[in-house]
Amino acid sequence: MILKFFTISSTKSKKKRYVFDDSIPCLFIKFPGSQIFILYSHGNACDLGDMFNELDNYSQRFQVNVIAYEYQGYGVARGKPTPENVKYDICTIYQFLTIVLNVPSKNIILFGRSIGTGPCLYVAARIEEENPNSLGGVIVQSPFTSIRDLAKSFVGPFLGNLFVGKIFDNFGNIAQVQCPTMVIHGDMDNVIPVEMGKSVFQNSGAPEEYRILKICEGSDHNMWDSENDIYKPISKFIYKHVEGVEAQNEKKNIPEPIYMKNLKRRMVQEDN
């Protein structure tokens, strides 16, 4: 599996087909001089094209590099967004950062939102279980306790237990995370109940002084006060708790940030 950094331009005179076999489409946004990297796992109802402006704002406001990957079956990525595929992809990105780019784990912040909190905490738990407090930090926005618990909240415990396995056990995984940890959740969230975010926070393995719970008053699953709910508290978290170290080896160059604009799903775009 390789990573594919790519740019797409619109041409009105041609039909284009984008096929990325055996690759992971990625967006990489550099912040000059920063040694800190956010590895971002996005939510369900979007793809990397939708997320560009938001991730670019994160890079500028937090003064960090941002790398985000596309889930299989989303945007231009082939395959199916199964839990195993998503786990494989985020592990590949993490290995790319640490092995290919020589970024120390202490310089990496894992950041997941909504469904993206699943792969985020999955890989964080495995990294931290092997080497406690080795990551720079973990941020989860609107986390669920598990997919099964989330299903039960919609269809009831009987059907939830019957048809949904314990996929992405955020409650169990965060118990392995000992690095600085931040949980953000809207108190009006009607998709993932705020109680789930509180439960995930309470089960964190990080020392009390290194974990932060931000309950955002009046915010739901998709509507946020970006300045007060996201930018200011995360900037403070990174400044206070995340202590990156200098990379030991020279990093290799990778392409400049790209913007996937107006993409249709399933790798096909037709320009009229």
E-assigned strands of the chain?
2-5, 15-17, 23-29, 37-41, 65-69, 108-113, 137-141, 181-186, 211-216, 268-270
Pairing of strands 37-41, 108-113: parallel
The number of helices, as runs of H, and strands, as runs of E, in the chain is 8, 10
The predicted structure's pLDDT at residue 42? 93
Report the candidate in 100, 112, 55, 63 with the shortest Cα–Cα distance to residue 244. 63
| Residue ranges in the chain whose pLDDT is less than 50 | 1-20, 155-163, 255-272
Q: pLDDT at position 248, please?
A: 56
Token reading at 56: 């670019």
Catalytic-labelled residue, pool 42, 221, 229, 241: 221
Per the structure, how many domains does the chain have?
1
Supply the pLDDT for residue 154: 54
Q: 185 an active-site residue? A: no
Q: Each residue of 13-68: pLDDT tens digit?
A: 343 333 445 678 888 999 999 999 999 999 887 888 888 999 999 999 999 999 99
Strand, coil or helix: what is 270?
Answer: strand
Give me the domain span that covers residue 20: 2-270
Question: Which pLDDT score is estimated for 254?
Answer: 53
Q: What is the pLDDT of residue 75?
A: 73
Residue 234: what pLDDT? 97
Q: Are strands 181-186 and 137-141 parallel, antiparallel or unpaired?
A: parallel
How many alpha carbons lie under 13 Å from residue 162 in its C-beta half-sphere? Answer: 5
Residues whose CB falls within 8 Å of the CB of residue 16, separated by 6 or more in sequence, listed in order: 8, 269, 270, 271
CATH of the domain at 52: 3.40.50.1820
How does pLDDT run across 169-191, given as a tens digit for each residue? Answer: 999 999 999 999 999 999 999 99
CA terminus-to-terminus distance, the chain: 33
- Which of 114, 142, 199, 204 is labelled catalytic? 114
Helix axes 232-241, 48-62, angle to 10 degrees: 60
Q: Give the integer Cα–Cα distance in Å for 38 and 21.
A: 26
Q: Residue 26 in contact with residue 4, Cβ under 8 Å?
A: yes
Q: Supply the pLDDT for residue 23.
A: 75
Tell me the β-bridge partners of 108.
37
Predicted TM-score (pTM) of this structure: 0.82
Adjacency order of strands within the sheet including 2-5: 2-5, 23-29, 65-69, 37-41, 108-113, 137-141, 181-186, 211-216
For residue 221, indicate whether it is catalytic: yes
Whole-number Å distance between alpha carbons of 161 and 127: 29
Q: In the prediction, which pLDDT does 271 show?
A: 36
**What distance lies between CA 115 and its chain's CA centroid?**
9
φ, ψ of residue 244 to 5 degrees: the values are -70, 160
Clarify whether 153 is annotated catalytic: no
d(CA 185, CA 140): 9
Catalytic residue among 47, 89, 149, 189: 189
* Type of residue at 180: P
Q: Which amino acid is at 244?
A: G
